[in-house]
Every structure is written in structure tokens, then in C-alpha cells.
Structure 1
Amino acid sequence: MAESTMKPPKIAIDPVAWMRQNLFSSWYNSLLTVFVGYLVITSAGPLFTWLFFEATFLGDKPSDCSGTGACWLFISERLNFFIYGFFPQEHQWRVDFMFGLMALSFVPQFIERFPGRKWFGLFGLTGLPVVGYFMIPGGWFGLEVVESTKWGGLMLTLILAYIGIIASLPIGILLALGRRSEMPIIRGLCVVFIEVWRAVPLITVLFMASVMLPLFLPEGVNFEKLMRALIGITLWQSAYMAEVIRGGLQAIPRGQYEAADALGLGYWKKTGLIILPQALKMVIPGIVNTFISLFKDTTLVLIIGLFDILGTVQSTVTDPAWQNVAIEGYVFVAFCFWVFCFGISRYSQNLERKLDTGHKT
């Protein structure tokens, strides 16, 4: 008789028992709970008053923000600049179209029973970059060319993070496999690449890519500043990604390699069908943590003259017409980053639960 694979039912805990177990399990936990609760209660009131109750949401000019609360009028008035940067307004529909495709590709991944969600996700990893290559810069199918110097805001942040994530993962996998290779030359090259790039801060990589790289290129050969930044971010991120994946490869039991060899599988089939899927599943938290770190590090492109969402806010708060609104701008930036990073984190947790094979201890 086949054994049942059903999981045991979860034990329900009533709220009082949960609080007694997690918040008041000992005298010091009880004291800490009361202290934290006091801080939350005393700070929540003034915070919500500043954020909402006494905030200014509507108006026509900066002088309308005369209250003691937040001036959200600043965000609404400059929202177009924060999202598109200097992208021409008559062509912003192309950016909106890409935003829609991105949402169509990744939002269904959070809905378990969404029909065809795997195909939408596959399109987001393969087809979306291709469509963006034609839509955003223009010059194809009658679309007017928009120079990368006019890109900015949230649009530029997503471009930097998305391309960096998509490109660094496969490069990182190859580097991790190369570092574990039995061929000394390949292993040595991968080790040197990883250690050199990991030893250099990203801010230095961006500076070198923007200022020093053109000095070493042949005469007449040049890359746009954005392209140089993307290359630097991708290579830098690939080194970190390689070490995360190498940790997963080393965690695979030796028996898995021996079983694959016993089946007569070659190196690439053994790696692609048996070893790599298990390794990637083990290091999902590390991979996602690296992605989130890259997403936040995109703000460093400000030092080379690229205005991402943080750069657009910083350039706006210096306007004499908008004084004392820096806090509102930074809160807006923090909220945007939190939304995307939290979404990435939640999807990774959902993926971990789906791929869980019961080997957790």
C-alpha cells in the first residue's frame, strides 16, 4: 500500500495563546513587549498626523504648503519628472507601455492559479528586454530616437536594476561553474575575475566605467555613459552572484554527482538536469538578497551624472520654489524602493514554499 504524502494538519493557536507564547513568555519578554508597545503608541500618533492628517495634498503653487504636515503637493507636482526624468512628454507612452508589459509579466507570478503565468514570466525574462530595446531608445519602426541622456527617474532605476539582474544571473552561474572546474586555466581565470571585482566598490566601478574606460578604447570607439554603467554594474554583480551560486553547488551531496555519473550523463546534462536545479533552489534567499542589494545600489549612478529616482528628487529639492520638502522627497523614494524590494522578497518566499521538498530541519 502506497504511503500517504499528505502533510499533517496545522495546529491552530488562539490569539491569547499566541501572545502568551511569543510576547509574554518570560518577564523580560513581557517588559520588552510593553516598552516596544509604548514606543509604537507614542510615535504613531505624531507620525500619522504629519503624514496624513495635517498634510497638504492639493494646491496650485508651493505656497499652498503652509501647514505643519507633509507637503505631498511637491510629489504630485513633480511626479512626472520623478518617473520619466527628461524623457520627452510626447513619447512617454512608450515608457508606460513597457511598465504595462512589466506588470503583465510579473504580477501574475503572485497569483498561484493565474492561467499561463509561467509563460508570462518567461516572456518577462526573455521577450521583455527585446521589446524594451526597440521601444525605449527608438530608431525602429518609425519611433523617434530618444538619447539615453534624457532617461531618468523611476524608469532609469528599473532599467538599471532589471538589466543588471537579468544579465548577472547567467554570467554568475558560468563563473561559479568555472571556479569549480577541473581545468586549471578556466578555474584560475574565474577566480581572478571574481576576486578582483568583489574587491572593488561599486562606486569605484561606476567612476572607472564612466571616466577611465573611454581612455583605453580605440580611437573612434565609444559607449554611451548609460551603457558603460550597465556593463560595470553587470560585471560587478556577477562576481557576487557567482559566490552565492558556488555556495549552493558545494552544498550538493557528493552522491548526486556519483548518481549522475552512474547514469552516463555528460558534464552539461549532469549540471543542467541534476546539480544546478538543486543548487539554485538552495540559494534562493541568497540570490534574492543579492538582487535587492543591486536594486538599491542603482542610486550610486548619480555620481556619474545619471539621474535615477533619487537623483531626480535631489535635483528638485534644491529648487528655491520648494523649500523644506527634502523629507517628503526622500520618503517618496524610500516608499518606491520598499514596494519593489518587498515584492521581490515576497515572490522569493512563495517560490521557496513551492520548491520545498521537505529537507528543511
Structure 2
Amino acid sequence: MTAGPPRLLPALRAGLFGTRANTLITLATLLVLSQVVPPLLRWAVLDATFSGNAGACTREGACWAFVAAKLRFILFAFYPPDLQWRPVLVILLLGAILAASAVPRLWGRPLILAWPLTILACWLLLQGAFTATPIPSNQWGGLPVTLFVWALCLAAATPIAILLALARRSTLGGLRTFSVLYIELMRGTPMVAILYVAMLILPMALPDGLSIDKMLRAIVMVTLFWAAYIAEVIRAGLQAIPHGQAEAATALGLGYWRTQRLVILPQALRIVIPGLVNLAIGFLLATSLLAVIGIFDLLNAARAAAADPQWLGFYNEAYIVVAVIYFAICFGASRYSRWLERRLAGGRAAPAPAGGTSATSRKE
């Protein structure tokens, strides 16, 4: 008979004060919190200003009136106020496709087809399609741009990364060399340099009379850049699969691509879920670098809001709002990663006991 789960209070007591080291760490943590929490509470709540204009705010407390006045700008930047229902719809569409992608039973061809349709709909919405005057990309900004660039680049980079990872493990020397050179070159180049290439060098390489939107150039270069990092994570998963898996599939008459699609890649991608989620979180935070080429992502929009002459200097409040949004997305992704890893691990075959044989081998 197995014992039930430990009760909450005994578990907390054991974790906080179970050993001398745990007790010292707990007391030190409480000491630090006693010095940090009261001033922070006083600044954020007790001495804070929740309504009014900039003149009503004091430097002793937070000015949440600034957040109330500039929240729309932080979220949507320079997008026309009368059309801001469009970026709101973009956020909802991206949230819906990401939520659908998080449900394993929905994984399949319909979901794969839904991704490009969703991305196209988001692009048309942001562009102001079917309106009298199109909205140029230099008026896009805030949370919709951050989510749109992140989701689009991550979705487009993943299949490229799979091909790069397979090419790096290929027996074809030329293909393997190209993959190695591409991956190492991209991973050895700062993302800021990649963005400057998209902004300055790529337009000079285009034929005369042909121009590509700044946002689209940035998306293409960021996609190619992220693909190199994802490829290395996927390659680690491919290397973790025993060679016998591919040999058994070949013996059953499966070709190379069917072997990879049905046998190798599902197992490899399941192994590297934590690494992929970690990269995705890092990529989301890296979208703030779009500011170097004049794209107003969420962080850059918050910085610009605090530079408004009427609300000058309230950077702490602006950055706190952005930090809360980033934390909510990243924490949710992290918890989802743990849930998905446990769920997929539940389908793995149990290892055979030491010195014994598995049920499958006995049956054979």
C-alpha cells in the first residue's frame, strides 16, 4: 500500500526548516524580504497616485495615473486610435492559434494549415486592409508587433531548423558542410548585426525599383537567425535517438523521409521540449532588439510613452507594466512546457528491469 501525498504544512516545515542549511537560508531570505517589501509596498500602494495628471504625482510614490493615461500607447504605439480594434483582433487571433497549438489532440494537418492563414489575416489586419488608407508598418507597434514577429519567426524558423539539423547529420559532405557553415555563422553573429543587415545592406542588394517593407525584411532575417539556434537544439535530440531506430525502420521498408517523419523526429522533438521552450522564451525577450531599426515593439513603446513631455520620467511604471506582460507570457510558457513534458513522458515505454527482459522481447 502506497502512502498518500504529504500534507502541506509538514512538507513546508521540512523544506524551510528541515536542516540547518535550510533554516539559515530561510532566515536570510526573511531578513532580505523584511528590508525590501515594506519600502516597495509603500512606493507601489501607500504613496502611489492612481488618478489625475502628471502634476498630481509625487516622486515618493508610483504614478499609476501615468499607466492609465498611456496604456493604449504602450500596447499599440502609433496605431490610429479609431482602428485599434484591428491590433486587438490580431492579439486574439495569435492567442487562439497559440492556444490551439498547445493542445496535443489538435496537432495535425488542419492546425498546420491554420498557421499561415492566421499569419496572413494578422498581416492584413495590421496593414489596414479594406480601409480607405493603408496603415504603414512604421505606425505598427506595441504588444501586437511583439507577438506577431515572435510567433511568425518562430513558426517559420522551426521547419527550416529541422532541415538544417537533418542536413548537419547527413552523409552528403556538401550538404553537411553547408549546414555547419550556416549554423556557425549565424550563431556567431549578434542579432543586432542581423537586424542592421536587414535595415541597411539588404535593400542595397535588391534590384533597382524593388523595395521590401522594413518589417518584412526584419522578419526574414530574424527567421533565418533563429533557425540556426533551433537547429542545434533539434540536432541534440536527433543524436539522442539510438541508431537502431532508423535501422529497424529501414528494415521495415520505410524510406529516409518517412523514417524521419514517423520514427525519429517525434521522439527527438519530445526530448528537446524544455530546450525549445527555453529558446522560445529567449526569442520573445529578444524582440526588444527590434528597437535598433526603428520598430516599436512593446518595450520600445513603453520607453517612448515615458518620454512624453506631459508625462516625462515615469520609466519605472512603464517598465513594470512591460515586465508583468512578459512575465505572464514566459511563466505560462514555462508551466506549459512542464505539463507537456510530463504528458508526453507518460506515453514512453517503461524501461526493462536490470538483468531481465521487457514484455516485448519476451513476446518475440
TM over 0.5: yes
RMSD: 2.4
Q: Quick check: 1:75 aligned with 2:67?
A: yes
How far apart, CA to CA, are the structure 2 residues paired with 1:147 and 1:319?
22
- TM-score under structure 2 length normalisation: 0.88
CA contact (8 A) 2:142 2:301 kept: yes
CA contact (8 A) 1:157 1:298 kept: yes
Q: Count residues in correspondence.
A: 349
What residue ranges of structure 1 are gaps of 5+ in the alignment? 1-7
How far apart, CA to CA, are the structure 1 residues paired with 2:100 and 2:115?
14
CA contact (8 A) 2:91 2:147 kept: no
What residue ranges of structure 2 are gaps of 5+ in the alignment? 352-364
Offset of residue 104 of structure 1:
3.2
Find the counterpart in structure 2 of residue 96 from structure 1.
88
Deviations 1:271-322 (A, max 9, x none): 0000000000000011111111110001011111111111112222223322
How far apart, CA to CA, are the structure 2 residues paired with 1:57 and 1:117?
44
Off by >6 Å, runs of 4+ in structure 1: 108-112
- TM-score under structure 1 length normalisation: 0.89
Cα distance change, pair 134–21 in 1 and its aligned pair in 2 (3 A) = same
How far apart, CA to CA, are the structure 1 residues paired with 2:307 and 2:99?
36
Find the counterpart in structure 2 of residue 258 from structure 1.
247
Is 261-270 or 216-225 further displaced after alignment?
A: 216-225
Find the counterpart in structure 1 of residue 342 from structure 2.
353
CA contact (8 A) 2:142 2:299 kept: yes
Matches within 5 A, 1:1-361: 11-59=4-52, 61-66=53-58, 68-107=60-99, 125-139=115-129, 141=130, 144-356=133-345, 357-358=347-348
AA in 2 matched with 1:39: V
CA contact (8 A) 2:93 2:122 kept: no
CA contact (8 A) 1:172 1:241 kept: yes
CA contact (8 A) 2:274 2:337 kept: yes
AA in 1 matched with 2:224: L
Offset of residue 329 of structure 1:
1.0
How far apart, CA to CA, are the structure 1 residues paired with 2:106 and 2:248?
34
CA contact (8 A) 1:56 1:67 kept: no
Percent identity between the aligned chains? 37
Task: Please state whether the residue corresponding to 1:145 is helix, strand or coil.
Answer: coil
Find the counterpart in structure 2 of residue 5 from structure 1.
none
Cα distance change, pair 10–93 in 1 and its aligned pair in 2 (3 A) = farther
CA contact (8 A) 2:76 2:140 kept: yes
How far apart, CA to CA, are the structure 2 residues paired with 1:243 and 1:176?
7
Offset of residue 214 of structure 1:
1.5
Task: Please state whether the residue corresponding to 1:249 is helix, strand or coil.
Answer: helix
Cα distance change, pair 286–35 in 1 and its aligned pair in 2 (3 A) = same
Find the counterpart in structure 2 of residue 3 from structure 1.
none
AA in 1 matched with 2:55: S
